[in-house]
């Protein structure tokens, strides 16, 4: 009995964990302070690409601007910060739909 327990303890580190499932990126969870990057040179530093459209009916997400960072605590409520260092999310803004 003791030999089985020791054998089990020796083989325990070789047990592999189940692979984690990939989580889809949810664009509706962008909220808080946001910096809008318009320079294409810094496109790779942005976490997401935003297309600004004129028609609200075909938008994936309608965003509301908040004047105070403390109140931008819900999805699609953004406080636009002028400084990239203080932003929770950096978004690249484009006028070309991909």
The strands making up 89-94's β-sheet, listed across from edge to edge, are 48-51, 89-94, 32-37, 77-80, 64-65
Which of helix, strand or coil describes residue 56? coil
Q: What is the pLDDT of residue 5?
A: 77
* pLDDT in the model for residue 14: 59
What parts of the chain have a pLDDT lower than 70? Answer: 8, 12-25, 27, 98
pLDDT at 89: 92
Question: Is residue 64 a contact partner of residue 78, using CB atoms and an 8 Å limit?
Answer: yes
Q: Tell me, what's the pLDDT at 88?
A: 92
pTM (predicted TM-score): 0.69
pLDDT value, residue 53: 82
The DSSP annotation for 2-53 comes to HHHHHHHHHHGGGPPPPPPPPPPP-GGG--EEEEEE--GGGGGG-SEEEE--
């Amino acid at each position: 009995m003791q030999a089985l327990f020791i054998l089990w303890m020796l083989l325990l580190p070789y047990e592999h964990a189940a692979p984690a499932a990939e989580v889809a990126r949810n664009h509706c969870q962008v909220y808080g302070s946001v910096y809008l990057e318009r320079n294409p040179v810094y496109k790779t530093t942005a976490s997401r690409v935003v297309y600004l459209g004129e028609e609200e009916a075909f938008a994936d997400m309608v965003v509301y601007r908040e004047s105070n960072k403390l109140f931008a605590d819900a999805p699609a409520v953004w406080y636009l910060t002028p400084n990239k260092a203080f932003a929770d999310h950096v978004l690249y803004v484009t006028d070309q739909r991909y």
